[in-house]
Protein backbone atom coordinates (compact mmCIF):
# COMPACT_ATOMS: atom_id res chain seq x y z
CA UNK A 1 0.00 0.00 0.00
CA UNK A 2 1.27 3.47 -0.86
CA UNK A 3 1.54 5.76 2.12
CA UNK A 4 -0.46 8.97 1.70
CA UNK A 5 1.48 12.18 1.28
CA UNK A 6 0.84 14.90 3.81
CA UNK A 7 -0.15 18.54 3.33
CA UNK A 8 3.50 19.63 3.53
CA UNK A 9 4.42 17.47 0.53
CA UNK A 10 1.71 19.00 -1.66
CA UNK A 11 2.41 22.55 -0.42
CA UNK A 12 6.06 22.11 -1.43
CA UNK A 13 4.79 21.34 -4.94
CA UNK A 14 2.67 24.50 -4.84
CA UNK A 15 5.74 26.46 -3.71
CA UNK A 16 7.62 25.13 -6.75
CA UNK A 17 4.86 26.63 -8.90
CA UNK A 18 5.18 29.91 -7.00
CA UNK A 19 8.91 29.93 -7.79
CA UNK A 20 8.09 29.57 -11.50
CA UNK A 21 5.78 32.57 -11.22
CA UNK A 22 8.55 34.51 -9.44
CA UNK A 23 11.00 33.75 -12.26
CA UNK A 24 8.45 35.05 -14.79
CA UNK A 25 8.01 38.32 -12.89
CA UNK A 26 4.57 37.29 -11.66
CA UNK A 27 3.41 37.62 -8.07
CA UNK A 28 4.68 34.30 -6.70
CA UNK A 29 1.58 32.32 -5.92
CA UNK A 30 1.41 28.66 -6.87
CA UNK A 31 -1.19 25.95 -6.58
CA UNK A 32 -1.74 22.25 -7.11
CA UNK A 33 -4.89 20.14 -6.96
CA UNK A 34 -4.70 16.56 -5.76
CA UNK A 35 -7.12 13.68 -5.65
CA UNK A 36 -6.43 10.23 -4.23
CA UNK A 37 -2.88 11.19 -3.27
CA UNK A 38 -2.07 12.28 -6.85
CA UNK A 39 -1.50 15.74 -8.30
CA UNK A 40 -3.83 16.25 -11.24
CA UNK A 41 -3.27 19.96 -11.88
CA UNK A 42 -0.64 22.62 -11.33
CA UNK A 43 -0.69 26.36 -11.85
CA UNK A 44 0.78 29.69 -10.91
CA UNK A 45 -0.10 33.33 -11.37
CA UNK A 46 -0.12 34.43 -15.01
CA UNK A 47 -1.82 37.81 -14.75
CA UNK A 48 1.09 39.71 -16.31
CA UNK A 49 1.89 37.09 -18.93
CA UNK A 50 -1.71 36.82 -20.11
CA UNK A 51 -2.65 40.44 -19.32
CA UNK A 52 -5.65 38.98 -17.51
CA UNK A 53 -6.59 39.98 -13.98
CA UNK A 54 -8.40 36.66 -13.52
CA UNK A 55 -5.33 34.52 -14.27
CA UNK A 56 -4.61 33.73 -10.62
CA UNK A 57 -2.90 30.47 -9.69
CA UNK A 58 -6.14 29.02 -8.35
CA UNK A 59 -8.09 29.83 -11.53
CA UNK A 60 -5.41 28.25 -13.72
CA UNK A 61 -5.37 25.15 -11.55
CA UNK A 62 -9.16 24.81 -11.33
CA UNK A 63 -9.35 24.86 -15.13
CA UNK A 64 -6.55 22.31 -15.49
CA UNK A 65 -8.16 19.97 -12.93
CA UNK A 66 -11.59 20.21 -14.57
CA UNK A 67 -10.00 19.41 -17.94
CA UNK A 68 -8.17 16.44 -16.42
CA UNK A 69 -11.32 15.08 -14.78
CA UNK A 70 -13.57 15.86 -17.75
CA UNK A 71 -16.07 17.74 -15.59
CA UNK A 72 -16.54 21.01 -13.75
CA UNK A 73 -16.90 19.65 -10.21
CA UNK A 74 -13.84 19.01 -8.08
CA UNK A 75 -15.44 16.91 -5.39
CA UNK A 76 -12.95 14.73 -3.50
CA UNK A 77 -10.16 17.11 -4.61
CA UNK A 78 -7.89 19.26 -2.46
CA UNK A 79 -6.41 22.58 -3.55
CA UNK A 80 -3.01 23.48 -2.09
CA UNK A 81 -2.21 27.15 -2.65
CA UNK A 82 0.64 29.21 -1.25
CA UNK A 83 -1.54 32.25 -0.44
CA UNK A 84 -5.05 32.35 1.00
CA UNK A 85 -7.50 32.64 -1.91
CA UNK A 86 -9.00 36.01 -2.76
CA UNK A 87 -12.75 36.56 -3.11
CA UNK A 88 -12.73 35.87 -6.85
CA UNK A 89 -10.89 32.57 -6.47
CA UNK A 90 -12.99 31.57 -3.46
CA UNK A 91 -16.09 32.15 -5.57
CA UNK A 92 -14.75 29.91 -8.34
CA UNK A 93 -13.81 27.29 -5.74
CA UNK A 94 -17.36 27.50 -4.36
CA UNK A 95 -18.82 26.71 -7.79
CA UNK A 96 -16.30 23.89 -8.35
CA UNK A 97 -17.52 22.23 -5.13
CA UNK A 98 -13.93 21.44 -4.17
CA UNK A 99 -13.75 19.37 -1.01
CA UNK A 100 -10.77 20.96 0.71
CA UNK A 101 -8.60 24.07 0.48
CA UNK A 102 -5.20 24.21 2.17
CA UNK A 103 -3.28 27.48 1.98
CA UNK A 104 0.12 28.64 3.12
CA UNK A 105 0.26 32.33 4.00
CA UNK A 106 -2.71 34.45 5.10
CA UNK A 107 -3.78 37.42 3.00
CA UNK A 108 -5.01 39.77 5.71
CA UNK A 109 -6.24 42.40 3.22
CA UNK A 110 -7.70 40.51 0.29
CA UNK A 111 -8.13 36.97 1.59
CA UNK A 112 -11.44 35.18 1.65
CA UNK A 113 -11.42 34.65 5.42
CA UNK A 114 -11.33 38.30 6.53
CA UNK A 115 -13.72 39.20 3.72
CA UNK A 116 -16.05 36.45 4.97
CA UNK A 117 -16.46 34.95 1.52
CA UNK A 118 -18.76 31.94 1.59
CA UNK A 119 -17.33 28.62 0.55
CA UNK A 120 -19.36 25.62 -0.52
CA UNK A 121 -20.94 23.99 2.57
CA UNK A 122 -19.00 20.78 1.90
CA UNK A 123 -15.65 22.58 1.54
CA UNK A 124 -13.19 22.67 4.44
CA UNK A 125 -10.38 25.20 4.63
CA UNK A 126 -7.18 25.26 6.66
CA UNK A 127 -4.05 27.30 6.51
CA UNK A 128 -0.58 27.92 7.77
CA UNK A 129 1.10 25.04 5.92
CA UNK A 130 4.62 26.24 5.07
CA UNK A 131 3.36 29.78 5.70
CA UNK A 132 6.84 31.12 6.51
CA UNK A 133 8.24 29.89 3.19
CA UNK A 134 5.30 31.26 1.21
CA UNK A 135 5.47 34.63 2.99
CA UNK A 136 9.23 34.88 2.50
CA UNK A 137 8.88 34.33 -1.25
CA UNK A 138 6.20 37.02 -1.52
CA UNK A 139 8.26 39.47 0.55
CA UNK A 140 11.37 38.81 -1.55
CA UNK A 141 9.37 39.43 -4.73
CA UNK A 142 8.02 42.79 -3.56
CA UNK A 143 11.40 43.94 -2.16
CA UNK A 144 13.06 43.16 -5.49
CA UNK A 145 10.23 44.83 -7.42
CA UNK A 146 10.52 48.02 -5.32
CA UNK A 147 14.29 48.09 -5.79
CA UNK A 148 13.93 47.86 -9.58
CA UNK A 149 11.61 50.88 -9.73
In angstroms, the CA 25 to CA 142 distance is 10
Binding residues: 56, 86, 89
Catalytic residue check, 58: yes
Mean pLDDT of 22-34: 98
* Domain layout of the chain by residue ranges: 7-140
Q: Answer whether 89's CB lies under 8 Å from 66's CB.
A: no
Say which CATH architecture domain 7-140 belongs to.
3-Layer(aba) Sandwich (3.40)
- The answer for residues whose C-beta is within 8 angstroms of residue 86's C-beta and 6 or more apart is 56, 107, 110, 111, 112
Residue 1 reports pLDDT greater than 60: no
The neighbouring-strand residues paired with 126 are: 102
Residue 149 reports pLDDT greater than 90: no
**What integer best gives the mean pLDDT of the chain?**
95
Question: Among the options 17, 26, 58, 84, which is catalytic?
Answer: 58
pTM reported for the whole predicted model: 0.95
In angstroms, the CA 140 to CA 137 distance is 5
57-72, pLDDT tens digit by residue?
999 999 999 999 999 9
Binding residues for Zn(2+): 56, 86, 89
Amino acid sequence: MIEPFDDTYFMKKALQEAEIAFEKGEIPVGAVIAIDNRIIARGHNLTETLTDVTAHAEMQTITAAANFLGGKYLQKCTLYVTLEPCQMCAGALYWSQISKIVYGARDEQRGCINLKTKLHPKTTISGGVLADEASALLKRFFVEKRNLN
